[in-house]
Amino acid sequence: MSTLAHTGQPVAPHDLWGSWDADPVLVAGLVLTVWAYRRGHAASPRRTVDDWRARCFAGAVLVIGIALVSPLDAMSSSLASAHMVQHVLLLLIAAPLLALSAPTATLLRGSPALVRRENARWRRRLGLTRTNLSPLRDPVTVWVLHVATLWFWHASRPYDAALDSELLHIVEHVSFLATGVLFWRVVIGTRAAGRVSNGFGVLLVFTMALQSIFLSALLTFARTPWYSGYAATTRPWHLEPLADQQLAGAIMWIPAGLVYIGAALALLVAWVRATELEPTM
């Protein structure tokens, strides 16, 4: 069983199902997060919305585990298409579920008293007030931040660097998930998190989908491979590097596009229904 899936030789097909990422920091982090959330949820008033959010949080943790602990993580060191599946899971399933679950208060409530005290102390020391953090609730700011993160890590040099460095690979995934949560919070999160109107949310999701389609088209129709890190790793999987990249582009284009379209349609329907319910003068 692999401890760090992106070190050593890339995984081959016959080794795939033995290549779980047993990184103790990652596994312990997920386990402790679930433990703290369960404690916090048990201590909260038993309301339907809390149970619904808890299911969203459980789904998010499960998806993160599939993306980063399962053999998919090891496979992503050999195939750009597998790496793209990771990105789709983190950006378009885990991040929206985390935004819907709004887990911060529940996690703090379930954490040991020492963790709560240290959290409050560091927030005071760093001056992290609601006013100072307001840019992270601004829809245009988080949209630009999320798009910039996507394009930066899919450029050839940062992408190859992340394949070569476990630390950069972690930073890549953390930045994807963090900016994804910030984006989806303003679209489908709580009002306290700065959620915009459903009409504005449709616009944000639609423009996010457009830039994703443009990036995926560049990947799909490129005449040469972008990523040198896969030059010698795709053939055991019966794929040429360019074909693997084209498959990655198609994954970003179609499954990811369907998620964006589904979210935009759901917001549009909610917007229309809310408009119909408004009293007429």
Q: Which residues of 26-35 are buried (b: 16+ CB within 10 A; e: fewer)?
A: beeebeebbe
Whether 26 contacts 64, CB under 8 Å: no
In the chain, % of residues over pLDDT 70: 88
- Pick 119 or 97 by higher pLDDT: 97
Whether 263 contacts 99, CB under 8 Å: no
Q: What is the pLDDT of residues 221-252, one digit of tens each?
A: 999 999 998 988 888 888 999 999 999 999 99
In a domain, 225, yes or no: yes
pLDDT level of residue 206 (50, 70, 90 thresholds): very high
pLDDT level of residue 3 (50, 70, 90 thresholds): very low
Whether 189 contacts 99, CB under 8 Å: yes
Find the helix packing angle between 255-277 and 198-220, rounded to 10°. Answer: 160
Measured CA to CA, the distance from residue 268 to residue 182 in angstroms comes to: 21
In a domain, 5, yes or no: no
Measured CA to CA, the distance from residue 67 to residue 76 in angstroms comes to: 10
Closest CA to 184 of 102, 270, 63: 102
Measured CA to CA, the distance from residue 62 to residue 64 in angstroms comes to: 5
- How distant, in Å, are the alpha carbons of 95, 116, 135 from that of 60? 7, 23, 25
Q: How many residues does the chain have?
A: 281
Mean pLDDT within 166-189: 93
Mean pLDDT within 64-88: 92
- How distant, in Å, are the alpha carbons of 64, 126, 166 from that of 173? 10, 25, 11
Whether 160 contacts 227, CB under 8 Å: yes
Query: Has residue 8 got a pLDDT over 60?
Result: no
Query: Has residue 146 got a pLDDT over 60?
Result: yes
Q: Of the given ranges (119-128, 143-152, 183-192, 201-210), which has the lowest mean pLDDT?
A: 119-128
Query: Encoding tokens for residue 117?
Result: 């005290």
Query: Has residue 124 got a pLDDT over 80?
Result: no
What is the dihedral angle through the alpha carbons of 215, 151, 193, 99, rounded to the nearest 10 degrees?
A: 60
Query: Has residue 16 got a pLDDT over 90?
Result: no
Q: Please tell me the total count of domains within the chain.
A: 1
In a domain, 41, yes or no: yes
Residue 278: per-residue pLDDT: 62
Strand runs (DSSP E) across the chain, as ranges? none
Mean pLDDT within 179-205: 90
Parent domain of 97: 13-277
Closest CA to 226 of 204, 249, 203, 206: 249
Q: Of the given ranges (42-46, 98-102, 105-109), which has the lowest mean pLDDT?
A: 42-46
In a domain, 90, yes or no: yes
In a domain, 7, yes or no: no
Q: State the Cα angle at 180 between 220 and 268, rounded to 5°.
A: 85
> What pTM was computed for the model?
0.87
Q: Which H or E element spans position 257?
A: helix 255-277
pLDDT level of residue 12 (50, 70, 90 thresholds): low
